[in-house]
Structure 1
Amino acid sequence: MIDKINGIQNISGINKVNPAQKANESSNVDFSNMLKDAINDVNNLQKTADKAAVDYSTGKINDVHQVIIAAEKASLSLQLTSQVTNKIIESYKEIMRMQI
């Protein structure tokens, strides 16, 4: 015999979050720290790609695909960072042109 399915109210472990509280939590995110973390991630990918290239040239890595993948990840992350930077500068310039 199949037991009756309990309603959502009976599920334990669900935290009820006030929408105003959730908005306050999301506004606490520091934009400068987020950018610093992103730039650090790009830097780490660049270092990983450089290390993979050195390891391949010294014979520690035999699979050239690992080196190419690491280099491509670093390249794509740098391109993304560059495009985001361009958009930020573009937005800043647009805001400065606005008349109040």
Structure 2
Amino acid sequence: MADGIDGLNGIKGINPNTIKPEKTNTDKNNLDFANILKEAIEEVNALQKNADSVAADYAAGKITDIHQVIIAAEKASLSLKLTSEVTNRIVEAYKEIMRMQI
């Protein structure tokens, strides 16, 4: 039975001393909750501003394709809905944690 496994003898084992942890820079990769939330809100704000500028350009006649305007408005609308839903869930989770008894 073991005759067909002779090829596995050449496989080296994993040496835990050769595995190096991934280097992280705390200044660049600071992923605390406040920064993540801030970046998400800034992205939603940028989408809202983009939708407003595309709508203004369409009204001014700079853009003739109504599809671009509708897509930009829907992206902004969906991102705002998602942000408000996430905010509601965060508030609900916070309230639930505050109701817990120790």
Q: Tell whether the structures are fold-level matches, with TM greater than 0.5.
A: yes
Q: Which residue of 2 aligns with 1:47?
A: 49
Q: Cα 1:28–1:36, aligned 2, differ >3 Å: closer, same or farther?
A: closer
Structure 1 or 2, whichever has the larger Rg, is 2
In 1, Cα distance between equivalents of 2:93 and 2:59: 43
**How far apart, in 2, do the equivalents of 1:17 and 1:99 lie?**
42
Alignment partners' CA distance in 2, 1:65 and 1:35:
30
The one of 18, 21, 46 aligned to 1:18: 21
The CA RMSD over aligned residues, in Å, is 2.4
Matched AA of 2:48: Q
For 1:12, the equivalent position in structure 2 comes to none
Q: Percent identity of the aligned residues?
A: 65
Q: Give 1:49's aligned amino acid.
A: A
1:62 lines up with 2:49 in the alignment: no
User: 5+ residue gaps in structure 1?
Assistant: 1-8, 10-15
Structure 1's consecutive aligned runs of 4 or more residues displaced over 6 angstroms after TM superposition are none
Match of 2:6 in 1: none
TM-score normalised by length of structure 2: 0.73
Task: Name the structure with the higher helix share.
Answer: 1
Number of aligned positions between the proteins: 82
In structure 2, relative to structure 1, the CA distance for the partners of 1:75 and 1:17 (3 Å cut) is farther
The residue correspondences of 1:1-100 to structure 2 (distance < 5 A) are 16-18=19-21, 28-100=30-102
